[in-house]
């Protein structure tokens, strides 16, 4: 419901004397501008009393009355008499002046309480901020109680999505107008960001509705999962040599020919690399077996891993993890060395169907 209009200092002088049946009430010239126009602001109640003998209506127990103003034409009112339990009385005592005053009455208080009760109920049942979408994919619409009349930055609504979006989308609240929906932070929506059945919170940022939580769909690209199942033996002690990979488990973006050493980088980006190898010696003196990674022919700092082989044919785990800055079209490779030519990386054996001597994973970060 709409509350009656209010205005400060809205006290007017009534022209002439009137009987209880009068509903057209003239005011003194210029007085009509002091009170609201019902055609613009809606009808409202005025208190009418004898202001010659009484400073306010409370003391005028004989003639005081509340009337409802339904129209105004310059300085002439159209009223409904005897409001809020008061009686229509003659205002025609000779020599007396009469005034009307726009002040809070019992109706004002009752209306405010009714409005508060309604708002509280709407908040409790969610109708103020929650609604089920009634639109179609990409063109979403909701109706709230009470209805929204204008968008303001900060307006926030929770909406149960009826249909999964196919791409860029809009939200129209109470037919105020369709507004573009974006992800939190302003990124454009992608297909599937709004899922049928999900409840999504939309906040107006002054330009668009930001939707949250709208998960960012992560599609991982540019990665390596490769391994080798052969024994690779150090050819020259303490000299690094290329490690070849016999199998491409999964590749995306990167290119590599099975049984070769070179992995060609697809995109300039940072990459996380993890590797595990199994080093050993076959005979002779103890040996430190080492693995490093190179990019564009240069050793990547922090990539070294090593294991000290002291027992013949007993493999030791060599592992490493590092991040490096990759450049498109350049080559990533891994190299091996040992303190003796009896040093190897070997499949560790066991019951697994595949036993890699070395495996590597590369993920763009």
> How would you write 146-206 as a 3-class SS string?
CCCCCCCCCCEEEEECCCCCCCCEEEEECCCCEEEEEECCCCECCCCCCCCCCEEEEEECC
Residue 99 in this model has a pLDDT that exceeds 80: yes
The model's confidence at residue 118, banded by pLDDT at 50, 70 and 90, is confident
| Mean pLDDT, rounded, for 187-197 | 91
Residue 128 in this model has a pLDDT that exceeds 90: no
Q: Report pLDDT for 117.
A: 80
Rg (CA), the chain: 42
Q: Report pLDDT for 248.
A: 95
Compare 48 and 221 and report the one with higher pLDDT. 48
Locate 71 and state its tokens. Answer: 């129209």
Percent of the chain with pLDDT over 90: 87
| Mean pLDDT, rounded, for 319-342 | 97
The model's confidence at residue 115, banded by pLDDT at 50, 70 and 90, is confident
Q: Cα separation of 46 and 6, whole Å?
A: 11
Residue 214 in this model has a pLDDT that exceeds 60: no
| Mean pLDDT, rounded, for 53-80 | 96
> Do 263 and 225 meet the contact criterion of CB atoms below 8 Å apart?
no
Percent of the chain with pLDDT over 70: 95
Q: Is the peptide bond before 334 cis (omega within 30 degrees of 0)?
A: no
Compare 141 and 146 and report the one with higher pLDDT. 141
Locate 320 and state its tokens. Answer: 């490493």
Residue 256 in this model has a pLDDT that exceeds 90: yes
| Mean pLDDT, rounded, for 74-96 | 97
Compare 75 and 219 and report the one with higher pLDDT. 75
Q: Other C-beta atoms within 10 Å of 51: how many?
A: 19
Q: Report pLDDT for 215.
A: 53
> Do 172 and 179 meet the contact criterion of CB atoms below 8 Å apart?
yes
Residue 217 in this model has a pLDDT that exceeds 70: no
| Mean pLDDT, rounded, for 311-318 | 93
Q: Right CATH number for 223-364 from 3.30.70.100, 3.40.640.10, 2.60.120.40, 3.40.50.300?
A: 2.60.120.40
Q: Report pLDDT for 114.
A: 87
Cβ burial, residue 151 (10 Å; 0-12/13-18/19+): middle
| Mean pLDDT, rounded, for 172-181 | 96
Q: Other C-beta atoms within 10 Å of 182: how many?
A: 21
| Mean pLDDT, rounded, for 167-183 | 95
């Amino acid at each position: 419901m709409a509350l009656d209009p209010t205005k400060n200092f809205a006290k007017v002088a009534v022209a002439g004397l009137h009987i209880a049946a009068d509903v057209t009430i003239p005011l003194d010239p210029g007085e009509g501008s002091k009170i609201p126009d019902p055609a613009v602001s809606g009808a409202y109640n005025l208190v009418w009393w004898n202001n010659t003998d009484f400073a306010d209506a409370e003391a005028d127990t004989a003639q005081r009355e509340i009337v409802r103003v339904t129209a105004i034409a310059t300085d002439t009112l159209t009223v409904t008499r005897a409001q809020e339990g008061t009686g229509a009385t003659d205002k025609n005592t000779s020599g007396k002046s009469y005034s009307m005053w726009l002040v809070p009455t019992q109706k004002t208080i009752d209306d405010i309480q009714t409005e508060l009760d309604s708002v509280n109920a709407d908040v409790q049942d969610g109708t103020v901020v929650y609604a089920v979408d009634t639109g179609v994919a990409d063109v979403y619409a909701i109706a709230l109680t009470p209805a929204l009349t204008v968008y303001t930055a900060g307006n926030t609504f929770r909406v149960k999505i009826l249909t999964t979006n196919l791409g860029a989308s809009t939200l129209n609240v109470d037919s105020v107008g369709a507004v573009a929906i974006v992800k939190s932070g302003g990124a454009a929506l992608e297909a599937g960001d709004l899922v049928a059945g999900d409840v999504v919170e939309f906040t107006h940022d002054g330009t668009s509705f930001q939707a949250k939580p709208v998960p960012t769909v992560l599609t991982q690209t540019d990665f390596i999962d490769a391994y080798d199942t052969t024994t690779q033996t150090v050819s020259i002690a303490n000299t690094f040599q290329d490690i070849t990979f016999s199998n491409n488990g999964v590749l995306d973006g990167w290119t590599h020919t099975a049984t070769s050493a070179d992995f060609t980088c697809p995109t300039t980006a940072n990459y996380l690399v993890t590797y595990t190898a199994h080093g050993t010696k076959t005979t002779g003196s103890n040996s430190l077996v080492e693995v490093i990674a190179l990019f564009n022919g240069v050793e990547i700092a922090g990539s070294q891993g090593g294991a000290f082989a002291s027992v013949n044919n007993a493999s030791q785990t060599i592992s490493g993890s590092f991040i490096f800055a990759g450049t498109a079209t350049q080559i990533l490779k891994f190299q091996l060395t040992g303190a003796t030519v009896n040093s190897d990386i070997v499949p560790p054996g066991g019951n697994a169907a595949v036993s890699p001597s070395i495996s590597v994973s590369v993920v763009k970060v």
